[in-house]
């Protein structure tokens, strides 16, 4: 019987990270059905070139071993980059003597700096791993679903070997933003993601995006890279994400400063996201400064961890005259506090330049919180007529929506958010599995040699 092997390696190794992709992986795995249409669904990780069935995604209460696992992973990644450096230098050498000296130096350095520490940490970590997962043998006909952020992992060669031995590969694609909008990312991430996507383009048999918008982008990009004939052997589909906050804990305390924010009747507009350029926080500041200068009592609240390329924005926020008056920022709220914010805010504002989905939108709207967002395709796909849209080239368009809402008390969307319905994580996980299985059944027998090597 074919099995669906749902990979969650990065979340398994980094359970404390709680941004978008990690939230998706954790929720999909925790709601994974046991089987669909006689296809068993198995959460798996790929560690040190071996396949494991996940028994417990969250770690045992052992901080030392969790830290050791993270150290081990970083050490192995550094060793991989050292090997890449050696390979480039070896290719540049024209002298055989220089090549031999370089090789000897490489082997000695590898043994001293990486070999012994990696062997030791692997042995310790393996004992701990077997409490959370168990070795799993793959079978021809299995389908490996790369659900996690696999561009962070160094298991390309192992996946290629699985493919040669009859295992299909399905890639979950969250977005192509590092390729389509590289200005929003650091050069290293762009390079890593581009190399990964080039590999996955030639390796995967099918692609499951998180929105119809991203599915169409992926199909177009794959076709551009490998041509119509090769892309015709692949399949393309999508599933939608759920909306529950899985780390919400009724026993946890709500941040007192956040509670204080909602003790007055003045409206609070909530922005939930990592603080990074693509999310366009500066646009909100521009819009609300216009509103404030015109006498608006609306308040703006940023919620999200500090990301990258945001020094200027943080300086602007921290030096702002309205900070802690009509402008607020929380960088480390737990899910309980976030749930409280969704329940008490007046509206969500989401001015992103580009998104693969927009998870805070469904989290907010499913709780009855109306949302205003930038007028981009994926927000139209999710919000339809239940959202209000503004022009990200014109802050005044958002100011007009805020003023209309505040003056009339009627949210400026065509339909009321109370009539909007969305799926939960159980349905989202089932969508992923059912749609993947339907394509696997129909998938033509493709050559096992159609793969490329990670660089």
DSSP string, 100-149: HHHHHHHHHHIIIIIIHHHHHHHHHHHHHHHHHEEE----TT-EEEE-S-
pLDDT above 50 (res 80): yes
Task: For 163-181, write each residue's pLDDT tens digit.
Answer: 999 999 999 999 999 999 9
Between CA 388 and CA 358 the distance in angstroms is: 15
Crossing angle of helices 63-92 and 116-132, rounded to 10°: 140
Q: Which of 347, 349, 345 is nearest to 282 (CA)?
A: 349
For the ranges 43-47, 236-240, 339-343, 444-448, which has the lowest average pLDDT?
Answer: 444-448
Instruction: Collect all residues with Cβ–Cβ distance below 8 Å to 420 and sequence separation of at least 6.
Output: 365, 366, 384, 386
Q: Are the C-beta atoms of residues 281 and 312 closer than 8 Å to each other? A: no
DSSP symbol at 264 = S
Quote the pLDDT of residue 113: 64
DSSP symbol at 183 = G
- Other beta carbons within 10 angstroms of residue 342's beta carbon come to 21
Between CA 135 and CA 34 the distance in angstroms is: 18
Quote the pLDDT of residue 352: 96
Element (H, E) at 354: none
Q: Which of 335, 400, 380, 441 is nearest to 22 (CA)?
A: 335
Determine the 3-state secondary structure of 298 from DSSP.
coil
For the ranges 104-113, 320-329, 332-341, which has the lowest average pLDDT?
Answer: 104-113
Q: Which residues pair with 133 in a beta bridge?
A: 54
Task: For 191-237, write each residue's pLDDT tens digit.
Answer: 889 999 999 999 999 999 999 999 999 999 999 999 999 989 999 99
For the ranges 144-153, 245-254, 259-268, 402-411, which has the lowest average pLDDT?
Answer: 245-254
Between CA 128 and CA 69 the distance in angstroms is: 9
Instruction: Collect all residues with Cβ–Cβ distance below 8 Å to 68 and sequence separation of at least 6.
Output: 121, 124, 125
pLDDT above 70 (res 250): no
Confidence band of 30 (pLDDT split at 50, 70, 90): very high
CA dihedral 391, 392, 396, 398 (to 10 degrees): 70
Average pLDDT of the chain is 86
Element (H, E) at 454: none
Confidence band of 117 (pLDDT split at 50, 70, 90): confident
Contacts 24+ apart (CB under 8 A), 178-182: 179/221, 180/217, 180/354, 181/278, 181/353, 181/354
Q: Which residues pair with 53 in a beta bridge?
A: 44, 134
Quote the pLDDT of residue 450: 40
Confidence band of 419 (pLDDT split at 50, 70, 90): very high
Determine the 3-state secondary structure of 433 from DSSP.
helix
pLDDT above 60 (res 422): yes
Instruction: Collect all residues with Cβ–Cβ distance below 8 Å to 80 and sequence separation of at least 6.
Output: 154
Q: Which of 203, 202, 193 is nearest to 226 (CA)?
A: 202
Quote the pLDDT of residue 442: 57
How many residues are present in the chain? 455
Q: Are the C-beta atoms of residues 400 and 298 closer than 8 Å to each other? A: no
Residue 318, CA distances (Å) to 146, 182, 312, 327, 442 in order: 40, 27, 10, 10, 56
Determine the 3-state secondary structure of 40 from DSSP.
strand
Taking residues 47-62, what's their average pLDDT?
80
Between CA 204 and CA 217 the distance in angstroms is: 16
Taking residues 286-309, what's their average pLDDT?
94
pLDDT above 50 (res 448): no
Domains of the chain: 3-242+427-442 (no CATH), 256-419 (3.40.50.2000)
Determine the 3-state secondary structure of 83 from DSSP.
helix
Taking the alpha carbons of 279, 280, 281, 287 in that order, is the dihedral positive or negative?
negative
């Amino acid at each position: 019987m074919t099995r669906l092997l749902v990979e969650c390696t990065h979340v398994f190794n980094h359970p404390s990270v709680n941004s978008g992709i990690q939230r998706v992986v954790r929720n999909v795995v925790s709601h994974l059905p046991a089987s669909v249409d006689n296809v068993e669904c198995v959460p798996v990780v790929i560690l040190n070139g071996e396949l494991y069935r996940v028994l417990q995604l969250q770690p045992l209460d052992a901080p030392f071993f969790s830290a050791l696992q993270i150290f081990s992973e970083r050490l192995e990644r550094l060793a991989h980059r050292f090997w890449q450096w050696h390979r480039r230098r070896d290719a540049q050498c024209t002298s055989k003597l220089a090549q031999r000296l370089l090789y000897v130096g490489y082997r000695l350095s590898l043994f001293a700096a990486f070999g012994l520490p990696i062997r030791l940490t692997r042995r310790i970590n393996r004992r701990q791993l077997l409490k959370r997962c168990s070795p799993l043998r793959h079978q021809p006909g299995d389908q490996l679903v790369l659900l996690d952020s696999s561009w962070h992992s160094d298991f390309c060669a192992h996946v290629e070997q699985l493919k040669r031995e009859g295992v299909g590969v399905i890639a979950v694609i969250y977005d192509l933003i590092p390729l389509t909008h590289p200005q929003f990312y650091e050069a290293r991430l762009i390079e890593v993601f581009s190399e990964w996507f080039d590999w996955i383009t030639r390796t995967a048999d099918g692609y499951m995006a998180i929105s119809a918008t991203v599915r169409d982008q992926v199909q177009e990009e794959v076709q551009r890279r490998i041509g119509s004939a090769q892309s015709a052997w692949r399949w393309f589909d999508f599933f939608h994400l759920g909306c529950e906050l899985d780390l919400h804990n009724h026993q946890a305390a709500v941040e007192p400063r956040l509670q204080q924010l909602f003790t007055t009747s003045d409206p609070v507009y909530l922005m939930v996201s990592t603080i990074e350029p693509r999310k366009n926080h500066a646009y909100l500041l521009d819009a609300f400064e216009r509103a404030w200068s015109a006498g608006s009592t609306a308040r703006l609240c940023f919620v999200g961890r500090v990301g990258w390329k945001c020094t200027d924005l943080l300086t602007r926020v921290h030096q702002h005259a309205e900070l802690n008056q009509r402008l607020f920022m929380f960088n480390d709220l737990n899910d309980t506090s976030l749930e409280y914010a969704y329940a008490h805010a007046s509206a969500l504002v989401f001015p992103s330049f580009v998104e693969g989905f927009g998870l805070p939108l469904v989290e907010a709207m499913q709780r009855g919180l109306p949302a205003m967002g930038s007028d981009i395709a994926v927000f139209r796909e999710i919000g339809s007529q239940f959202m209000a849209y503004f022009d990200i080239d014109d802050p005044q368009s958002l100011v007009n929506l805020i003023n209309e809402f505040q003056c009339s008390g009627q949210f400026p969307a065509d339909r009321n958010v109370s009539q909007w319905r969305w799926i939960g994580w159980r349905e989202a996980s089932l969508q992923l599995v059912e749609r993947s299985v339907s394509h696997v059944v129909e998938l033509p027998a493709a050559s096992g040699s159609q793969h490329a090597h990670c660089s």
